[in-house]
Chains A and B, each alone.
Chain A
Amino acid sequence: MKRKICIILLTICFYCLQTTLCKSIAIADISPNIMLVIPICFGFFKGSKEGIFAGVVGGILMDAFYTSIFGFSVLFLAWIGYMAGTFTKEYNQERIIIPLLITLVSTFSYDFLIYVGGFLLYNRLNMLYYLGRIIIPGTMYTCAMMILLYRPMHYLDRLFDPRDRRKVTDYVSRN
């Protein structure tokens, strides 16, 4: 319960930063999407269930104002959290490469889906332009943010769950 409240508060903070600060640190008008960080990190640290929970919270916030179809971000972020959770067996504090790869794949596909739904269907066929100008730079930038935020997220995760979770029995119950 404590963790759930923590995730909700953290997501709200991230959302506020995403819509304000992230727009100020945009490079060439491309800002990172730090909303993906929480479901990926918590899914990876603690398992699919928490990943899904974090994804749903983040998705509701994102959908509340700016997405044209309500439910899209909820669905997508929940799936990201779930996917990240399936890698929780590989969890190791130093192993940042797995969450990084998940970030890479998920940011890319998130932006790509928006391109297909919001632009390609409206006759914006110049896919290479959108790939090179928005999708790939955005993905790179989000990955960079993931590298920066991984340690703080790990610290927060430990702060609210000081037990040693590296027991074999835990694997069973977690999945």
Chain B
Amino acid sequence: MWKRFRKIEISSRQWIIVITIVSLTLMAVSIFTDAIRNPIRQGVSVVVVPMQKGINTIGTYVYSRVEMIANLKNVTEENKELKEKVAQLTEENSLLNQNQIELQRLRELYALDDQYASYEKTAARVIAKESGNWYYVFTIDKGSEDGLEVNMNVIADGGLVGIITEVGPNYAIVRSIIDDNNNVSGMLINSGDTCTVEGSLSLMDDGYVYVKYLNSSVEVKDGDRVVTSNISSKYVEGILIGYIKDVTMDSNNLTKSGYLVPVVDFEHLQEVLIILDQKEIEE
């Protein structure tokens, strides 16, 4: 029996043909549904995610040590600068305090709630990034067991990082706003005019993203703040995205476009906050 079984020798050429057909079928199926990928993903994540976490913990430790030694030289100089800055900031702070009181008063007056602070958040650590160089997608170490869901917004440094696209039991995948596939509906904080914030691979080096489709009548200047808009279907309102830079009139004379400097430092992203409140969408 065994001998007869052994006689069937599949050559490498036959193997490659079989695999080509199978994977082409899988590709075709995966355009329509994730049903095949999900079980595989779950199996892989059980093995891989703990390992990634471990490597990452060691890596972060070593990195911080190396960084510490390298920084020691600059520290003294920096300390001096910082002391001056502290003095300056203390002064500014007292001024801001006064403004804050005024703001508080005005808020009460308008019965405005400080929404940004009222969102419920949870922290997570970035443990892995996309395997190629093309997309800015990363994995965080919390998942559905921690109450995360698809379409939850991710923030860091007080600015928008991205959105959760997939969730597993112990991990979630986040697509950042600088990814080439990403669009966010934003609005200017001073005027409420809406625009679209578009990630771009070619602008990533300069640290910008595109801002497009501003109405031609809108007055903007460099440094204007853009937040997530009230009409966005997936992003909760009022999260700071970045600052406007170099907006010019488009050739169609109907819209304006330019660049946006994101608040978040995507280069050194280690910890992120996930907003657990989701925008309710009517379907």
Contact = CB atoms under 8 A, between A and B. Distances in A.
Nearest to A61: B44
A66 to B, nearest CB: 5
A47 B48 CA distance: 28
A21 B133 contact: no
Query: Mostly helix, strand, loop or mixed at chain B's interface?
Result: helix
A149 to B, nearest CB: 16
Contacts of A90: none
A138 B133 contact: yes
B62 to A, nearest CB: 9
Contact of A16 (B24, B26, B48, B201): B48
B12 A19 contact: no
B244 to A, nearest CB: 23
Given A19-B139, A20-B52, A20-B128, A69 B15 contact: no
B202 A129 contact: yes
Interface residues of B, number: 49
A12 B20 contact: no
A17 interface: yes
A82 to B, nearest CB: 5
B276 interface: no
27 contacts: A16-B48, A19-B139, A20-B127, A21-B59, A23-B129, A24-B59, A24-B63, A29-B133, A56-B19, A60-B40, A62-B131, A63-B37, A63-B40, A66-B130, A66-B132, A66-B135, A71-B22, A75-B23, A78-B19, A82-B15, A82-B16, A115-B134, A118-B180, A130-B201, A134-B201, A138-B133, A175-B11
Q: When A and B form their complex, which 4 residue pairs have the shortest distance between CB atoms, in order from nearest?
A: A48-B12, A71-B26, A19-B128, A70-B30
Given A52-B12, A64-B41, A78-B19, 13 more contacts: A12-B47, A13-B51, A16-B51, A20-B128, A48-B16, A60-B40, A72-B23, A74-B19, A75-B27, A82-B12, A111-B133, A124-B202, A175-B12
Interface of A: 12-13, 15-21, 23-24, 29-31, 33, 35, 47-49, 51-52, 56, 59-66, 69-72, 74-75, 78-79, 82, 85, 111, 114-115, 118-119, 122, 124, 126, 129-130, 133-134, 138, 175
